Chain A
Amino acid sequence: MGGLFKSSHYCSNSNKTKGVRKVKARKKKVGKLSLSRNIFAFNMMAPAILIIAIVMGFPTLYGFIMSFFKWRLGKTPQFIGFENYLKMFTVTDIFHSIWITILFAIVVTILTIVFALFIALLLNMELKGTNLAIALLLIPWAVPPVVNGVMWKWIFNARFGTFNNVLISLGILDNFRIWIKEPWPAFLIIVFSTLYKMLPLAAFLLSASLKTIPKNLYEAAEIDGMSPIGRFFAITLPLIRPAMVIIFILLSVATFKAFDMIFVITNGGPGNFTALLNYMSYITTFRNMKFGLGAAMAFFISFLILIICIFYYRTTYREVRYD
């Protein structure tokens, strides 16, 4: 991942040389007994690695094994092999949940990147209010997702929410519509509130990436007579592609973990419509008390995330190679 944001890095066709140069520089460090250094290094990293391994590594393994057992609270677990996974596909609305989770990930990722790019471009134009804009942009990011959800639930409140009332006073709507109880509007509301939360982060990362594009490229293109839109597509987009890939990955993973908004706004939506996989897993485990099944669902999510990462890795790797 080193230095992927720098567009100059992308232009120069030697990722490898840079890496080797970095390693060589490091080797000229303070020359001490490598053994004592290794022990020392290990000691320093030990607390962190220990906690992560114990709290995250071990349960993941345990959970993975557990997903092959049948668990009921109070009874001893029985080994049932893949039955949980097979049973998972017979849970009501599970296929809908899977497909709507994927749709959610795609829609939110694309929308977030488009809007974030828009804002990042504006931020980079050296307009006067940029610092204030950055400060204001941090507010949606800092606010807890639950409160974000409450905000949006209130706006889309059927009787008193701003959305309905504005639409009615403008004459577009005749009667109060309960948006949260309708399937696709509920989905869009969740999409929108997640978008709202993710926008600042993506905008900052894209803005940082935009800053690394050397200005003379634009000037050269302008002299050659390219229109601003042409410049955007020919220079800007290709050069921030590494950044976009990283943001794609971060956003996709984050959307698969979406839970807070669903819990607060729709509670799974009209009849499980907005019950994304993570939420399904929670309900199965802690309301229906089916631990093995819930664990299987959670690992299915990890499996999907893994596929996405492999997919993105393959795409980026190929890009860099053919350059």
Chain B
Amino acid sequence: MAGLLFRRKKRLFRILFYFLLYSAMFVILIPFIIMVLSSFMSEHEIYLNNYPNFHIFPNEWNTSGELFANYRGLLTSQKRVMASFINSLKIAITTTIIVTVFACLAAYPLSRTNLKGRNTILFMFLFATMVPTMAILIPLYLQFTKMGLYDTILAVIIVLTAYLLPFSIWVMKAFFDTVPDSLEEAALIDGCTRLEALIKVIIPLALPGIGAVAVFVFISSWAEFLIPLVLTRMDAQVFTVYIGLFVNSENVEISKVLAAGVISCIPVIALALGFQKLIVRGLIEGAVKG
């Protein structure tokens, strides 16, 4: 009898935990769902939706018959949307490539050799992640203005690369550490140079790590706001800055801003969902081993 009660109690707890997990997930998704749904409604529909009675699920959300009206309006009326989106894309892709390559190069000796300054360098990288952005942005802003690089994509790429390299090197090093030495030694004995050993042996084996780093860097540079805000104005404006300024402008139609927000999310969410196993593993390895 006691055994049966115990089992039922355990099952009740189990059900409770299922409920908690799913409700937590639902709660986490709610803001996002609200944003997406609202982005499809025009101002008038939002008004109808909320007054006089509030409908949790929008009742009249497609009265005009065109679902993507806001998106179309956004892309046609505001010329800067397309331009800033493409700028964001350029910056994110370039930064990802550069950071991945440099991080691979830098992580190799950090993982394989036993230099005297190795720990110092590693800790310096750790501290580099703790620098508040404004501390480096003010001098950089002045310097770039002097060099004529203000409001260029190049400036943003340079700064983002330096900003994202320390963490990427940490994660890359952690992944390189998981590749056993023996394979590399065999390659070296067979006559490869160190660089060849890196490219042909280690990188294929550490490919998950490289993928994880690439995804992190892309998502981080896509999401960056303060650095482009300071270093760019009109020519090199990025999408995040565009949204930030848009939302603060006068007489703004909120649903258009939400539509812009949804557009901004699409690449990163696609990446995050597509590579989720890689990302989780990368986060964990980078923190556990690092």
Contacts and interface: CB of A to CB of B under 8 A. Distances in A.
Interface of A: 1-3, 5-6, 23, 26-27, 29-30, 37-38, 40-42, 44-45, 47-49, 51-52, 54-56, 58-60, 62-63, 66, 118-119, 122-123, 125, 127-130, 132-147, 149-155, 157, 159-160, 162, 165-166, 168-169, 196, 199, 201, 204-205, 208-209, 243, 246, 253, 256-257, 259-260, 263-264, 267, 278, 281-282, 285-286, 291, 294-295, 297-299, 301-302, 305, 309
A182 B184 CA distance: 62
Interface string B124-142: 0110111111111011111
B74 interface: no
Contacts of B112: 29
17 contacts: A23-B114, A55-B159, A56-B163, A127-B21, A136-B28, A139-B32, A141-B272, A147-B243, A150-B35, A150-B247, A157-B254, A208-B283, A243-B287, A260-B226, A260-B244, A282-B134, A299-B135
Given A144-B223, A157-B254, A44 B105 contact: yes
Interface of B: 14, 17-18, 20-22, 24-25, 28-29, 31-32, 34-35, 38, 46-47, 49-50, 53-54, 56, 102-103, 105-106, 108-110, 112-115, 121, 125-126, 128-136, 138-143, 158-159, 161-163, 165-166, 169, 181, 184-185, 188, 194, 219, 222-226, 229-230, 240, 243-244, 247-248, 254, 257-258, 261, 264-265, 268-269, 271-273, 276, 279-280, 283-284, 287-290
A45 B158 contact: no
Given A56-B163, A127-B17, A151-B35, A137 B28 contact: yes
A300 B22 CA distance: 43
Contacts of B47: 160
Given A41-B113, A138-B273, A259-B133, A291 B138 contact: yes
B165 A208 contact: no
Given A5-B287, A44-B106, A150-B35, A301 B134 contact: yes
Nearest to B279: A138
Nearest to B108: A44
A142 B138 contact: no
Contacts of A48: 102-103, 105-106, 165, 169
B248 A259 contact: no
Contacts of A119: 24
B168 to A, nearest CB: 9
B188 A253 contact: no
Contact of B115 (A38, A139, A157): A38
Contacts of B188: 30
B150 to A, nearest CB: 12
A132 B76 CA distance: 37
B199 to A, nearest CB: 12
Contact of B17 (A55, A122, A256): A122
B132 A144 contact: no
Nearest to A153: B247
